[in-house]
Amino acid sequence: MGKYQAPRGMRDLLPAEMAVFQRVEALADELAARYGYRSIETPLVEDAGVFERAIGGATDVVEKELFRVVTPGDEKPKWAMRPEATAGIVRAYVEHGMQTWPQPVRFSSFGPMFRYDRPQAGRYREFWQWNVEAIGDAGPAVDAEIIELGLRWLREAGAGDVQVHLNSIGDANCRPAYVAALGDYLADFTDRLPATERARASISPLRVLDSKEPALAAVIAAAPDITEYLCDACRAHFEGVQAHLAIVGIEGRPAPRLVRGLDYYTRTAFEYYVVGAEGTQQALGGGGRYDGLVELLGGRPTPGIGFAMGVDRVVTLVAASSPPELAVPVAFVVGADPAATDLRFRIATELRTAGIAASAELGVRKLARQLEAADRDGAHFAVVVGDELEAGQVQLRDLQAGTQKLVNAADLAKEIDRASRTHHHG
């Protein structure tokens, strides 16, 4: 091993993994377009205040996991790498006055996120999310649209038997009563709570519910049920979401302890899991409504909802069930004269100009070695450059059929195109 390695919790995505990665990304792009969600990119770093305000100071994500960035001339870090996309997208919505656009504004975004978490299987310090938001519609139909879109992507990508876990966490109207009841309940266990959770039990009791601390599992399981505290409006919204989902054949699994790890949520909260793998605490994705977030970041009160998918986790699942297919050249240009790299380079370039995926042997080696390389690359055809080139011809060898013929170099692209269309080799 060399002197340097990728930073802990971050990794290189090599071509085989990238093949799956790009497949699920292309599917996300295609579905986003099909559903009318438009692409947006926001910076990888933001003013740290964007995350502190939006996500909340007493969350793991802000308190322990923010990658803060010290810029030249600053003593204290002012910026932070984005740990998620929603806060930045809402910041952009406010900054660009998008409340004057036709509402809701639908966004799709695919990219890396950074959280200084303890690395483990399926948990990285740099990871990728597919993020979808609809800002400016109070729902509940748009909630169902978003939830269905996420489920479709997971299923079509090949993540397996996936189910959505569904909850409502109320709003500013009804949540305080629940939080108070939860606080009272947790007070009985103060001496059993680890230090972080003990501090949070008084500031932000909801955060205790998504604690990853194994010792707390039993305490959390017996905690009061938020759905019993919902006000009429929140209850009606929750029922509306379920009714809209039922219309398209989706039954969310009730998940009364699901509160999500970020403070901006109101009402609808959901997570996607592979059926049977819920216990591992590895959600494939999650999201919810954030009706107070636009206002919190300085805009007019505007409702919103969205999800983020954990692309790394999905890629791992998909790669296990359908092995990656690397792109292969259609044609591989080889030659009898090992030194004639110029001819091979020129012919491959001409094929590429004609739109054919072509590779060429650019090293100086014997023809037999060159043909091995063509085979290893999985090329359909080898173009063999030899003495016939003086008469304007090359050998076109079909490596799959084992046949070979002389063709005019000028017609090579057309010949390859025709031959790859008419031959079907399983």
| Footprint of ligand HAM (CB under 6 A) | 84-86, 115, 117, 122-124, 127, 129, 131, 133, 261, 283-288, 290, 306-308, 310, 312-313
Which residue's CB is nearer to ligand HAM, number 113 or number 330?
113
In the bound complex, what is the minimum distance in angstroms from residue 314's beta carbon to ligand HAM? Answer: 8
Element (H, E) at 210: none
- Residue number of the CB closest to ligand HAM reads 310
Q: SS3 of 384, please?
A: strand
Question: Measuring CA to CA, which residue among 338, 362, 358, 363 is closest to residue 348?
Answer: 358
Alpha-carbon distance 278 to 179, whole Å? 25
Min separation Cβ 273 and ligand HAM, Å: 9
Q: Two tokens at 18?
A: 């990238």
For tokens 């025709």, the residue is: 418
Task: Output the smallest distance, CB 382 to ligand HAM, in A.
Answer: 43
Tell the smallest beta-carbon distance from residue 403 to ligand HAM (Å).
49
Nearest distance from residue 367's CB to ligand HAM, in Å? 48
Nearest to 331 by CA among 373, 389, 294, 367: 373
Q: Which one, 116 or 345, has the nearer CB to ligand HAM?
A: 116
Nearer to ligand HAM, 308 or 419 (CB): 308
Nearer to ligand HAM, 64 or 423 (CB): 64
Give the whole-angstrom CA distance, residue 94 versus residue 115: 25
Please tell me the distance from the alpha carbon of residue 289 to that of residue 258, in angstroms, as a whole number.
Answer: 13
Decide whether 293 or 348 has the Cβ nearer to ligand HAM: 293
CB of 282 to ligand HAM, least distance (A): 7
Query: Would you say 287 and 305 are in contact if contact means Cβ atoms under 8 Å apart?
Result: yes
Give me 174's structure tokens.
């009804």
- At residue 259, φ and ψ (nearest 5 deg) are -120, -5
Closest CB to ligand HAM among residues 107, 229 = 107
